[in-house]
């Protein structure tokens, strides 16, 4: 099993091949199926957070348009690697200018991570989209549509992808685990979703990495992603608010050493935990902690010492606990 896990890339193996296999993006898929039926479409711009299916939907769309031999009609590029104006003027232009014979009267150029293209490259692309619209359609994908220049946005039909729901992510992970014969705790799949927040690509990668260690548990999930277990962070916060500064600081040192976390990792986890509905904290206290966590995060980014700043953070929690009557 371990050898298989090393050789397989599950995100590719379990990627939907057609639009009918795509889940959670029903509005987007319904609109794209109209283009498939009509054998015609405008230039497209897919926007949304990472891992929600933008590239997968683009590949499923061209598969449904052209059939199994779709690769002959598609040029797929990652704009973060090939993002300069020379690539647009040579590779993209050469592919775009040639005509195609068949039921679908155009070819498709897929530009992934188009928001990483330089401004000059985007201006050049804008012109190509106009000149070769009779022979080529572009599908652009971007995490941030604001980084795509307005002239390109106006030439495209924009599709906004939303993060995947907990239900869909957990269901998909269960299917993969059962097909691969992976032994897992049901709670571990929920933990994967909590970490990834709807990023299916990252969720599958975490499942694969955790499965390489044996049974997938909540502890193994947090171990492979390099995060502390939420219970330990919550316990550290509780100890500080109750006035046990020394114990809270020891818990902090243990978490940083055992999990190899940086100060920024810890403060981000603290920030996440104080907004978790399961953490019962007075609303005023939550506001104070969030405000000071932001200040500590800024200091750490600017290069301050991790241990000193996080110790100061715990000291502030102790003082807040005493002031609001939760500590000693």
Domain at 155, CATH number: 3.40.50.300
275 falls within a domain: yes
pTM of the model: 0.77
For residues 147 and 115, the answer to whether their CB atoms sit within 8 Å is: yes
Task: Give me the domain span that covers residue 149.
Answer: 25-160
Q: Is the pLDDT of residue 8 over 70?
A: no
pLDDT single digits (tens) 120-178: 888 888 888 888 888 899 999 999 888 899 999 999 999 999 888 899 899 999 999 99
Average pLDDT taken over every residue of the chain: 86
* 3-state secondary structure (DSSP) of residue 105: coil
Across 297-322, b (16+ Cβ under 10 Å) vs e yields bebbeeeeebeebbbbbbebbbebbe
What total of structural domains would you count in the chain? Answer: 3
In what helix (H) or strand (E) does residue 273 lie, and over which residues does it extend? helix 263-274
Calculate mean pLDDT across residues 51-71: 90
Q: Is residue 259 part of a domain?
A: yes
Write down the pLDDT at residue 296: 94
Question: At how many degrees (to 10) do helices 263-274 and 230-241 cross?
Answer: 80
Percent of all residues in the chain with a pLDDT value above 90, rounded to a whole number: 36
The model's pLDDT over 182-211, given as tens digits with 9 standing for 90+, comes to 999 999 999 999 888 888 889 999 999 999
- Whether residue 194 is contained in a domain is answered as yes
Where does a domain end: 160, 178, 203? 160
Q: Label residue 315 by pLDDT band (50, 70, 90).
A: very high
Same structural domain for residues 316 and 262? yes
User: Is pLDDT of 16 > 60?
Assistant: yes
Q: Is position 42 within any domain?
A: yes
Asked if residue 40 belongs to a domain, the reply is yes
Angle (nearest 5°) at CA 61 between 58 and 67: 130
* Residue 42 and residue 99 in one domain: yes
Q: Residues 58, 126: one domain?
A: yes
């Amino acid at each position: 099993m371990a050898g298989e896990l090393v050789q397989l890339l599950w995100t590719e193996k379990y990627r939907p091949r057609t639009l009918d296999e795509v889940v959670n993006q029903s509005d987007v898929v319904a609109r794209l199926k109209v283009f498939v039926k009509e054998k015609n479409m405008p230039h497209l711009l897919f926007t949304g957070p990472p891992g929600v299916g933008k590239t997968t939907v683009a590949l499923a769309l061209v598969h449904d348009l052209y059939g199994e031999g779709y690769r002959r009609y598609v040029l797929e590029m990652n704009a973060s690697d090939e993002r300069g104006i020379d690539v647009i003027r040579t590779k993209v232009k050469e592919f775009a200018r040639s005509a195609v014979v068949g039921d679908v009267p155009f070819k498709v150029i897929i530009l992934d991570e188009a928001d990483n293209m330089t401004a000059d490259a985007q201006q050049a692309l804008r012109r190509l989209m106009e000149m070769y619209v009779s022979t080529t359609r572009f599908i652009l994908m971007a995490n941030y549509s604001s980084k795509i220049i307005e002239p390109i946005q106006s030439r495209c039909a924009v599709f906004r992808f939303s993060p995947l729901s907990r239900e869909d992510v957990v269901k998909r992970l269960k299917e993969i685990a059962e097909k691969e014969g992976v032994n897992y705790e049901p709670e571990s799949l929920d933990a994967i979703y909590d970490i990834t927040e709807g990023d299916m690509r990252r969720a599958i990668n975490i499942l694969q990495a955790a499965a390489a260690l044996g049974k997938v548990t909540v502890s193994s999930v947090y171990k492979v992603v390099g995060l502390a277990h939420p219970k330990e962070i919550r316990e550290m916060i509780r100890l500080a608010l109750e006035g046990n500064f020394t114990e809270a600081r020891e818990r902090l040192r243990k978490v940083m050493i055992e999990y190899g976390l940086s100060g920024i990792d810890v403060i981000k986890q603290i920030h996440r935990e104080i907004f978790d509905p399961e953490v019962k904290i007075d609303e005023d206290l939550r506001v104070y902690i969030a405000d000071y966590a932001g200040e500590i995060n800024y200091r750490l980014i600017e290069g301050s010492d991790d241990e000193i700043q996080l110790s100061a953070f715990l000291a502030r929690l102790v003082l807040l606990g005493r002031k609001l009557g939760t500590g000693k």
